[in-house]
Amino acid sequence: MTKRVFAPGDILLPKAGTDMTKWSVVACDQYTSEPEYWSAVSELVGGAPSTLHIIFPEIYLEDGDGDARIENINANMKKYIESGLFAASRTKYIYVERTQRNGKIRRGLMGVVDLEEYEYMPGSQSKIRATEGTVLERIPPRVKIRKNANLEIPHIMLLIDDAEKSVIEPLDAAKGTLELAYDFKLMQDSGSIRGYFVNEAEEARIDAALASLADEAAFSKKYNVTGKGVLQFAVGDGNHSLATAKECWRLVKETLSPDEYDTHPARYALCELVNLHDTSLEFEAIHRVVFDIDAKKMREALSEYYELSADAEQKFVMITENGAEEIRIANPTSNLTVGSLQKFIDDYLKANGGRVDYIHGEDVVNRLGAEPGNAGFILPVISKDSFFPTVICDGALPRKTFSMGDAWDKRFYLEARIIK
């Protein structure tokens, strides 16, 4: 394998005849407060081959049966490989067209990234960087799942700042010359997806365009910075999954010879590349719902924690059983509203107990926040134009700052790759 930062991956897909709608399920970190969603998925899938059987939906992380679930995941992966479920792997890019629920098409490119070029710790100057704060305690449970897994099936999405649309978008015009990889409807009214294997001519064009985005002089001029490492790829989704892949690679590489170090499959992680300037890509705020608290006391604590003013710029909406209230912070602790709110929530829960969940849809926040013992917080959206410059100059954003679309438009598990 070449040492490109992003390269064609040795991708596995189920053989023709597999029910792909049942095979492909949404990212494991979605619908974490909606057990009815995952129950419906389980009923739909049944015993059919499905990525549902080889992932660990986060809604079940606290059920106490984690070890048994992980053993079952690993056994199912092995069964899928040995039973001949997959067609032969193809070392290719796959051009992806995801038709979302609203009818818009999001264009992407599947490939692998070199984990040696990725760091998630604060202050990183690596070519691939986390865009939100990484919660370190969330990594070990995921390492436990991945370290003995035979397969990876990603929901990781990387962003490029390609205003000229030189990397992915030309594939739309070329797709008539490309081999169809898959084409099917996604479950739960989540749109549809189509993929094409990229040919050698388009692969060469893509690699040249990506190299241009990584040019140091052009990077410095584009963002008006000096002394900053080139940020070629920003993690848009699946940051903790990519961090987990990195940690597993750290463990594996200590055991390898120099020849194995360059070619071992665990050095790479399968991802989808998406242009920040894709017309379908809309940043959505990730809201908060706090459970098992006294909402009135939390509101009083907020008034003591911050100076609140009707004229302040940082604002959010707090939802309780008594209704909705707009709150503005006059003395914020972060440049972003989400950072100021998160600091308060973290400190409040540490002192008073309770738990917080991160919710993508306002309707869910309104419903859950209005229940007794809960409080919901609806946050504003950050600007796409400020995204790369903020990460380059200020580092990672506060955790759970943004989401790329609603839950039903998130990346579904589909492509696989052997990592052992």
pLDDT tens digits along 375-394: 999 999 988 887 898 889 87
- The structure tokens listed for 99 are 């038709």
Q: Please check the confidence at residue 277 and state whether its pLDDT lies above 60.
A: yes
Q: Tell me the DSSP string of 278-333.
A: -TT--EEE-EEEEESS-HHHHHHHHHHHS-B-TT-SEEEEEEETTEEEEEEESS-S
pLDDT at 158: 97
Q: 154 and 31, same structural domain?
A: yes
Listed in sequence order, the residues at least 6 apart from 279 whose beta carbon sits closer than 8 Å to its beta carbon are: 104
Determine, yes or no, domain membership for 204. yes
292 with 277, same domain: the answer is no
> How many C-beta atoms surround the C-beta of residue 324 within 10 A?
14
Q: How many folded domains does the chain comprise?
A: 2
This prediction's pTM: 0.83
In contact, 412 and 153? CB cutoff 8 Å: no
pLDDT in the model for residue 283: 84
Is the domain of 326 the same as that of 303? yes
Cα–Cα distance between 97 and 182 in angstroms, integer?
A: 10
Which CA distances in Å does 251 have to 76, 135, 254, 306, 342?
24, 19, 6, 44, 32
- 396 in a domain, yes or no? no
More confident residue, 389 or 179: 179
Q: Find the domain containing 303 and state its range.
A: 287-378
The confidence score (pLDDT) of residue 142 equals 87
- Over the range 217-232, which residues count as b (16 or more CB within 10 Å of their CB) and which as e? eebeeebeeeeeebbb
Domain shared by 277 and 293, yes or no? no
pLDDT computed for residue 2 by the predictor: 44
In a domain, 24, yes or no: yes
pLDDT band for 22, please (50, 70, 90 cuts). Answer: very high
Determine how many CB atoms are found less than 10 A away from the CB of residue 82.
9
Q: Are 369 and 375 in contact (CB under 8 A)?
A: yes
Q: What pLDDT does 397 receive? A: 83
In a domain, 91, yes or no: yes
Among 7-11, 130-134, 235-239, the minimum mean pLDDT is found in: 130-134
Q: Are residues 99 and 161 in the same domain?
A: yes
Would you say residue 143 has pLDDT above 70?
yes
Same domain, 295 and 208: no
- Note whether 251 and 317 are same-domain residues: no
* Residue 31 and residue 165 in one domain: yes
Q: Given pLDDT bands bounded at 50, 70 and 90, which one contains residue 323?
A: very high
User: What average pLDDT does the segment 275-301 reach?
Assistant: 94
Question: How many Cβ atoms are within 10 Å of 124's Cβ, its own excluded?
Answer: 17
CB atoms within 10 A of CB 199: 14
What confidence score (pLDDT) does residue 1 get? 40
pLDDT at 395: 84
Whether 20 is covered by a domain: the verdict is: yes
Portion of the chain with pLDDT greater than 70, in percent: 100
Say yes or no: 108 and 146 in one domain: yes
**Mean pLDDT over each residue of the chain, to the nearest integer:** 94
Same domain for 360 and 413, yes or no, is no
Of 325, 95, 287, give the one whose Cα is nearest residue 196: 95
Residues 83 and 168 in one domain: yes
Q: How far apart are CA 340 and CA 305, in angstroms?
A: 10
Kindly state the average pLDDT of the residues 161-190.
Answer: 97
Whether 384 is in a domain gets the answer no
- Determine the pLDDT at residue 230: 96
Tens of pLDDT, residue by residue over 90-138, are 999 999 999 999 999 999 999 999 999 999 988 899 999 998 878 778 7
Quick: pLDDT tens for 346-356.
999 999 999 99
In a domain, 109, yes or no: yes
Same domain, 297 and 270: no
- What percent of the chain shows pLDDT beyond 90? 81
The per-residue pLDDT for range 44-70, each reduced to its tens digit, is: 999 999 999 999 999 998 888 989 999
Range from 8-12, 186-190, 322-326, 401-405 carrying the lowest mean pLDDT = 401-405
